[in-house]
Amino acid sequence: MEVKVLDITGKDTGRKVELSDAVFGIEPNNHAVYLDVKQYLANQRQGTHKTKERAEIAGSTRKIKKQKGTGTARAGSIKNPLFRGGGTVFGPRPRTYSLKLNKSLKRLARKSAFSIKAKESNLIIVEDFNFEAPSTKKFINVLNSLGLENKKSLFVFGELNKNVYLSSRNLGKASVVTNSELSTYSILNASSLVLTEGSVAGIVENLSK
């Protein structure tokens, strides 16, 4: 699959990049994508939720009223979950939500995500670029030139580009990552995926191991 290379002004450079069909042209495996996205979202959860059960509530343990003769239900403790201020029944406890997936399945999921973007024509290749200093205004100009000003976009670089990253940090709809930081969720969560020329080889190498 050949894709034309654009410059940061949105003009065709006349060059083309050959994208590997083994990464950008496979039949997407939707179940693998589902599992990988599920793992990513689950790993974002802290799992520190906690409520006190009746054994942990501060209060007297005396029997609050006699067993019989009151005309109401029997009750043995003020910490009963039925009373106001009592313990929670089967409340949440600290736990980990992390899931384990095989590396081969995660690679399949990322290949599927790339293939989906390529099939939907939401994949853009731009030449490598850098800023002399962080400038949000310059990055916005790049977005405008590529027609991404109102779209959620993900820029992928071959290696850390600090100035470009700092330039995009204040923008809610644009993200900058390196090819080693890519996840299936981040690829699919972006409306448009922008790859620099230098990142393509690294992506193919990472997903061919």
pLDDT of residue 89 exceeding 90, the answer is: yes
Task: Please tell me the predicted confidence (pLDDT) of residue 149.
Answer: 87
Task: Please tell me the predicted confidence (pLDDT) of residue 208.
Answer: 82
Q: Measured between alpha carbons, how far is 208 from 107 in angstroms, rounded to an integer? A: 8
Give the chain's mean pLDDT: 92
- pLDDT tens figures, 16-58: 888 989 999 999 999 999 999 999 999 999 999 999 999 999 9
CB contact at 8 A, 124 and 174: no
Q: Measured between alpha carbons, how far is 97 from 1 in angstroms, rounded to an integer? A: 39
- pLDDT tens figures, 116-147: 999 998 999 999 999 999 999 999 999 999 99
Helix boundaries (H) for the chain: 21-24, 30-43, 103-119, 136-145, 162-168, 184-189, 197-206
Q: Measured between alpha carbons, how far is 164 from 198 in angstroms, rounded to an integer? A: 15
CA distances from 91 to 17, 31, 48, 51 (A): 55, 32, 12, 6
Q: Quick check: helix, strand or coil at residue 196?
A: strand
Question: CB under 8 Å to 178, separation ≥6 — which residues?
Answer: 156, 157, 158, 159, 160, 199
Task: Please tell me the predicted confidence (pLDDT) of residue 142.
Answer: 93
pLDDT grade, residue 72 (50/70/90)? very high
Q: What is the mean pLDDT of residues 65-86?
A: 92
Task: Please tell me the predicted confidence (pLDDT) of residue 163.
Answer: 93
Predicted structure pTM score: 0.82
Cα angle for residues 114, 116, 118 (degrees, 5° grid) = 70
All domains in the chain, ordered by first residue: 2-46+98-206 (3.40.1370.10), 51-91 (no CATH)
CA dihedral 21, 27, 29, 33 (to 10 degrees): 50
pLDDT of residue 99 exceeding 80, the answer is: yes
pLDDT of residue 209 exceeding 80, the answer is: no
CA distances from 87 to 78, 82, 106, 185, 200 (A): 9, 8, 42, 39, 56
Task: Please tell me the predicted confidence (pLDDT) of residue 176.
Answer: 94
CB contact at 8 A, 86 and 79: yes
Task: Please tell me the predicted confidence (pLDDT) of residue 10.
Answer: 87
Percent of the chain with pLDDT over 70: 100
pLDDT grade, residue 165 (50/70/90)? very high
Task: Please tell me the predicted confidence (pLDDT) of residue 102.
Answer: 94
Task: Please tell me the predicted confidence (pLDDT) of residue 135.
Answer: 93
CB contact at 8 A, 156 and 174: no
- pLDDT tens figures, 51-60: 999 999 998 8
